[in-house]
Homo-oligomer: A and B are copies of this chain.
Amino acid sequence: MQKSELAQQIKRKKSYLCVGLDTDSSKIPSHLRGEKYPLFEFNRQIIDAVADSCVAFKPNTAFYESLGSKGWENLEKTMEYIPKDFFTIADAKRGDIGNTSTLYAQAFFEQMNFDAITVAPYMGADSVQPFLAYKDKWVILLALTSNAGSADFQQLTDQNNQKLYETVLQKSQQWGNAENMMYVVGATQASHFQQIRQLVPEHFLLVPGYGTQGGDLQAVSKYGLNSAGGLLVNSSRAIIFADQTKDFAKTAGKLAASVAAEMAEYLK
């Protein structure tokens, strides 16, 4: 998907919500656990219920891998099911030497037709570039994550008084541009958004940590939105696991609609 298409979807739906399909097999309603593809069956109902309120879906691969090849099949079926006008993100946080990153790109861009994959920057340019070789596909590079551990290395200050995540934002702009790269910036890091927007004014930011992790949607939106929208704010558990009864999808649909209504205000 191209940037202009994603911007259009956001404008049309008045929402920049991404629903995280962190489909934990131990948390899905018990009546689904006997299904042949329980994670897919859960996802299918969630996708239908939230479709009007979000523009993107983001399965985190860990939840599928933890079930082995069976889990992987559930992920494949989920990707086949998601309509093509949604932006799809493999939250995989991959990154390896060049020839190996090429194979990860094949796995997620060719085998499963994701639009985007999250990539860890630690191994540098040649671990990221193989993903950028794909037309109309996206790298979403970890910059400043939502967890406490983001303080350990991402916020270290170098000899030029620049933090590591700022160097990641700067240096990676030599590898790609706002048409094929986004950055992960946690919603829990709202105080940093203004200055991050100075470094990457045009790029989309994928913002996890809203919802269960306590990020502030209003602050993120105030400093993060740009003319193309420029934000994909993700919510996973707070939407998909709010209700563990047979009504789970209905509840998820209502919660997603309520987030989207708040986003519509910020987009005005």
> Chain B residues with Cβ under 8 A from A73's Cβ?
69
In whole angstroms, what is the CA distance A101 to B120 when docked? 14
Given contacts A66-B104, A93-B94, A93-B95, is CB(A124)–CB(B159) below 8 Å?
Answer: no
> Chain B residues with Cβ under 8 A from A200's Cβ?
none
Q: How far is the CB of A104 from chain B (nearest CB, A)?
A: 5
> Could you tell me if B103 and A123 are in contact, using CB atoms closer than 8 angstroms?
no
In whole angstroms, what is the CA distance A158 to B71 when docked? 42
> Is A191 located at the chain interface by the 8 A CB criterion?
no
> Could you tell me if A151 and B124 are in contact, using CB atoms closer than 8 angstroms?
yes
> Could you tell me if B153 and A156 are in contact, using CB atoms closer than 8 angstroms?
no
> Chain B residues with Cβ under 8 A from A125's Cβ?
148-149, 152
In whole angstroms, what is the CA distance A153 to B98 when docked? 16
> Could you tell me if A72 and B68 are in contact, using CB atoms closer than 8 angstroms?
yes
A74: nearest chain-B partner, CB-CB = B69
> Chain B residues with Cβ under 8 A from A213's Cβ?
97
When the two chains form the complex, which single residue of B76, B100, B154, B167 contacts A69, counting CB atoms closer than 8 Å? B76
> Could you tell me if B60 and A153 are in contact, using CB atoms closer than 8 angstroms?
no
In whole angstroms, what is the CA distance A251 to B93 when docked? 36
> Could you tell me if B159 and A157 are in contact, using CB atoms closer than 8 angstroms?
yes
Most chain B beta carbons < 10 A, residue from A69, A72, A148, A157: A69
> Could you tell me if A156 and B167 are in contact, using CB atoms closer than 8 angstroms?
yes
> Chain B residues with Cβ under 8 A from A154's Cβ?
122-124
> Could you tell me if A123 and B145 are in contact, using CB atoms closer than 8 angstroms?
yes
A104: nearest chain-B partner, CB-CB = B62
> Chain B residues with Cβ under 8 A from A71's Cβ?
107
When the two chains form the complex, which single residue of B62, B107, B147 contacts A65, counting CB atoms closer than 8 Å? B107
In the A-B complex, the 3 residue pairs with the closest CB atoms: A124-B149, A124-B152, A69-B72
Instruction: A68-B72, A121-B122 are known; give 9 further A-B pairs, CB within 8 A.
Output: A60-B96, A62-B101, A66-B104, A68-B107, A68-B111, A93-B96, A97-B146, A123-B147, A156-B167
Q: Could you list 6 examples of A-B contacts with CB < 8 Å? A: A93-B95, A121-B152, A124-B150, A126-B149, A127-B147, A157-B159
